[in-house]
C-alpha cells in the first residue's frame, strides 16, 4: 500500500500515448484462446486486470506468451477445446474478466471456480447468472450472488433471447460468449446500447453477429452459435478511459497543451469527448482512422475555460467509467454540472458516486449526491484540496483525485495508489513527465 500525493502541477505538455484498451485487451485474449491458430496482439494492456484474464485463459487451455518487444501471441484451442482448470481462477480486481469468463465457461461441460479481491468479491454477479442459468449453467455462489462462485456447464445448452435489465456490456458479452458454444441463435436486446467491442471482435474472428437498430434507440444483437473462429492479428488502440485522465488534467491545468495519439474512438466509448467539448473544452480530433474494426484518432487538448452542463442519462453507457474524472473537471467549470443516470456507478470497483461526493466535499467542493446523480458546483477560485482520500481498491478513484491535486491549493493524498496498476501501469511516471507533481510514499 503506497500513498499517492498530488501537488499543484506545472502546465502539462507533450506528445504521448496511453496503455492499450482494457475492454479490447480482455476480449482479444478470450477470443484468441478459442480461435483456431495464432493470434498476434500489439499494444495489449499489461495491467493486472488483463494479466489475470491471461492467466485464466492459460488455465483453461490456451497458450499465451509475450516476446521481449511486447508482442503477445495467443494460440487458441477452438470453441470446444477448453478444459477444466486445475486451480481456482483468481480474477483479482477485474469485473470484466470475471463476468466474461463466467459466460465463456457457462456453456462448457466442466466446473470452474472464480474468486477475486475484496472489491470484486463484493460486486453483483447475479446479473450474469440469471441469463446463463437460462442457457443451462449452474452456479453456487456466496450470499447476494457474490464471488467466490462455482460454475458448471450443462449437457443441455440452450440459446436464449434476453433483454438486458441494466445497461451492461459485461452482461451482454457474457451471454454472447456463452452463445458461442450453444446451437442456434443467441439474441441480446439492449434498451440502451453499450460498448460493442465484443460484437466487432467476434465478427473480426469470423463469427456471424447481426446488430439491428430498434425503435426507441435500443439494439438487438444476434449471434449464430458454434462458429469456427479463426485467429486474427490485432492492434489494440489506446484506452479512452485511461486517456481521460491526461485529457481532463490538460483541460484544467492552466497553459497545458497535449497530443494523445492512437486513442480508441468507438462511438459507444467516446461520450466523455462530446461532454467536454459541450463544456467548452478545446479538444481537436485529428487523423481519424480505423484499425481491425475499431476507430481511433489522435486528440489535441488545450487548457480551456469550461462551463457546467447537464449530462443526460442517455449518455451514461458511453462514458460510464469517466464520471469520477468528469466530476473533478466540473469543479473547475463555471456554474453547475449535473450528471444523471449514474446508478451503475454504485456497483463498480467501489461505490463511485459516494467516493466522489465524499472526497470532493472533503477537498472543499460543493457537491450533491442522489441515488443516481451528482451535481457539482464549480468555482473560479482554486479548490482547497488537502484531504486524505480512500481509494477503496478503485483505480479510477485514485487517478481522479490525483488530477484534483494538480489544481488544488493544498496537496491531495490518496491512501493507496496500488490499484492504478490494474488499468494504467506507468500512470504516475507519465503524468510527471507531462508536468504533474505526484509522489508516492
Ligand atoms: C466493461 C464494461 C463496463 C465498464 C468496465 C468495462 C467491459 O462495465 O464499466 O470497466 O469491458 O465490458 P458494465 O458492463 O458493468 O457497465
Q: Is residue 241 part of a domain?
A: no
Q: Is residue 188 part of a domain?
A: yes
Could you tell me if 206 and 271 lie in one domain? no
Of 321, 380, 394, 416, the catalytic one is 321
Quick one: cell of 193? 446500447
Rounded Cα distance between 104 and 124, Å, is: 18
Could you tell me if 220 and 276 lie in one domain? no
Could you tell me if 334 and 409 lie in one domain? yes
Position of cell 467501489? Answer: 350
Specify the pairing of strand 72-75 against strand 89-90: unpaired
Q: What residue owns the CA closest to ligand 1's atom 4? A: 321
Q: Is residue 67 part of a domain?
A: yes
Q: List, in order, residues 6 or more apart from 20 with CB less than 8 Å away.
A: 43, 44, 45, 46, 236, 237, 238, 239
The Cβ-side half-sphere exposure at 441, using a 13 Å CA radius, reads 10
Distance 68 CA to ligand 1 centre (A): 30
Rounded to a whole number of angstroms, the CA Rg of the chain reads 21
Could you tell me if 324 and 417 lie in one domain? yes
Query: Residue 247 belongs to what H/E stretch?
Result: helix 240-252
Could you tell me if 80 and 217 lie in one domain? yes
Q: What is the pLDDT of residue 39?
A: 98
Q: In this model, does residue 1 exceed pLDDT 80? A: no
Q: What is the pLDDT of residue 253?
A: 98
Give the bridge partners for 6, in sequence order.
412, 438
Could you tell me if 210 and 273 lie in one domain? no
Q: List, in order, residues 6 or more apart from 143 with CB less than 8 Å away.
A: none
- Confidence band for 154, pLDDT divided at 50, 70 and 90: confident
- Confidence band for 74, pLDDT divided at 50, 70 and 90: very high
pLDDT in tens, 173-183: 999 999 999 99
Q: Looking at residue 341, which CATH number applies to its domain? A: 3.65.10.10
Ligand 1 atom closest to 320 (CA) = 9
Q: Is residue 325 part of a domain?
A: yes
Could you tell me if 177 and 317 lie in one domain? no
Q: Which domain holds residue 330?
A: 4-11+266-282+305-440
Q: What is the pLDDT of residue 257?
A: 98
Residue ranges lining ligand 1, Cβ < 6 Å? 23, 96, 168-170, 173, 195, 320-321, 344
Q: What residue owns the CA closest to ligand 1's atom 15? A: 168
**416 in active site:** no
Rounded Cα distance between 432 and 441, Å, is: 15
Q: Which of 93, 168, 202 to mutate to test the pocket of ligand 1 (most atoms within 8 A of CB)?
A: 168
Could you tell me if 83 and 169 lie in one domain? yes
Distance 125 CA to ligand 1 centre (A): 13
Rounded to an integer, the average pLDDT of 158-163 is 98
pLDDT in tens, 165-224: 999 999 999 999 999 999 999 999 999 999 999 999 999 999 999 999 999 999 999 999
Q: Is residue 88 part of a domain?
A: yes
Q: Is residue 245 part of a domain?
A: no
Q: Which of 23, 164, 166, 200 to mutate to test the pocket of ligand 1 (most atoms within 8 A of CB)?
A: 23
Ligand 1 atom closest to 169 (CA) = 14
Q: Is residue 79 part of a domain?
A: yes
Distance 96 CA to ligand 1 centre (A): 6
Rounded Cα distance between 138 and 154, Å, is: 7
Ligand 1 atom closest to 22 (CA) = 11
- Confidence band for 291, pLDDT divided at 50, 70 and 90: confident
Q: What is the largest CA-CA distance in the chain?
A: 64
Could you tell me if 436 and 319 lie in one domain? yes
Distance 124 CA to ligand 1 centre (A): 13
Q: Is residue 183 part of a domain?
A: yes
Closest CA to 429 of 241, 246, 244: 246
Could you tell me if 219 and 277 lie in one domain? no
Could you tell me if 322 and 211 lie in one domain? no
How many separate domains does the chain show?
A: 2
Ligand 1 atom closest to 173 (CA) = 12
Q: What is the pLDDT of residue 212?
A: 98
Q: Which of 170, 175, 177, 194 to mutate to test the pocket of ligand 1 (most atoms within 8 A of CB)?
A: 170
Could you tell me if 157 and 78 lie in one domain? yes
Q: What is the pLDDT of residue 439?
A: 98
Ligand 1 atom closest to 170 (CA) = 14
Amino acid at each position: 500500500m503506497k500513498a499517492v500525493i498530488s501537488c499543484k502541477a506545472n502546465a502539462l505538455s507533450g506528445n504521448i500515448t496511453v496503455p492499450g484498451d482494457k475492454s479490447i485487451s480482455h476480449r482479444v485474449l478470450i477470443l484468441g484462446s478459442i480461435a483456431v491458430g495464432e493470434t498476434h496482439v500489439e499494444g495489449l494492456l499489461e495491467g493486472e486486470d488483463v494479466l489475470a484474464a491471461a492467466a485464466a485463459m492459460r488455465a483453461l487451455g490456451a497458450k499465451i506468451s509475450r516476446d521481449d518487444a511486447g508482442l503477445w501471441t495467443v494460440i487458441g484451442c477452438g470453441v470446444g477445446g477448453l478444459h477444466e482448470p486445475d486451480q481456482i481462477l483468481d480474477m483479482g480486481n477485474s469485473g470484466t474478466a470475471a463476468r466474461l469468463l463466467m459466460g465463456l465457461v457457462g456453456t462448457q461441460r466442466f466446473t470452474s471456480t472464480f474468486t477475486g479481491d475484496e472489491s470484486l468479491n463484493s460486486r453483483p454477479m447475479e446479473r450474469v447468472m440469471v441469463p446463463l442459468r437460462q442457457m443451462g449453467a449452474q452456479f453456487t455462489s456466496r450470499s447476494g450472488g457474490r464471488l467466490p462462485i462455482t460454475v458448471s456447464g450443462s449437457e443441455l445448452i440452450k440459446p436464449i433471447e434476453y433483454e438486458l435489465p441494466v445497461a451492461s456490456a459485461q452482461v451482454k458479452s457474457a451471454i454472447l460468449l456463452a452463445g458461442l458454444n450453444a446451437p442456434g441463435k443467441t439474441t441480446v436486446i439492449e434498451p440502451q446500447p453499450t460498448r460493442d467491442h465484443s460484437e466487432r471482435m467476434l465478427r473480426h474472428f469470423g463469427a456471424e453477429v447481426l446488430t439491428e437498430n430498434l425503435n426507441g434507440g435500443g439494439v438487438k444483437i444476434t449471434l449464430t452459435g458454434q462458429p469456427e473462429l479463426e485467429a486474427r492479428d490485432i492492434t489494440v488502440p489506446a484506452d479512452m478511459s485511461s486517456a481521460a485522465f491526461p485529457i481532463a488534467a490538460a483541460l484544467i491545468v492552466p497553459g497545458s497543451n497535449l497530443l494523445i495519439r492512437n486513442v480508441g474512438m468507438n462511438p459507444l466509448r467516446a461520450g466523455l469527448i462530446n461532454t467536454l467539448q459541450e463544456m467548452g473544452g478545446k479538444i481537436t480530433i485529428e487523423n481519424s482512422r480505423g484499425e481491425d474494426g475499431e476507430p481511433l484518432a489522435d486528440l489535441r487538448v488545450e487548457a480551456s475555460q469550461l462551463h457546467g452542463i447537464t449530462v443526460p442519462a442517455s449518455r451514461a453507457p458511453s462514458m460510464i467509467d469517466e464520471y469520477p474524472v468528469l466530476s473533478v473537471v466540473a469543479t473547475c467549470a463555471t456554474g453547475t454540472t449535473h450528471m444523471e443516470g449514474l446508478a451503475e456507478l454504485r456497483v463498480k470497483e467501489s461505490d463511485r458516486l459516494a467516493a466522489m461526493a465524499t472526497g470532493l466535499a472533503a477537498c472543499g467542493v460543493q457537491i450533491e449526491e442522489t441515488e443516481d446523480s451528482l451535481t457539482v458546483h464549480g468555482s473560479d477560485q482554486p479548490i482547497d484540496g488537502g484531504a486524505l482520500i480512500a481509494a477503496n481498491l478503485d483505480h479510477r478513484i485514485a487517478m481522479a483525485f490525483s488530477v484534483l491535486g494538480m489544481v488544488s491549493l493544498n496537496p491531495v493524498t490518496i491512501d493507496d495508489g496500488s490499484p492504478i496498476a490494474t488499468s494504467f501501469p506507468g500512470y504516475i511516471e507519465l503524468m510527471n513527465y507531462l508536468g504533474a507533481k505526484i509522489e508516492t510514499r
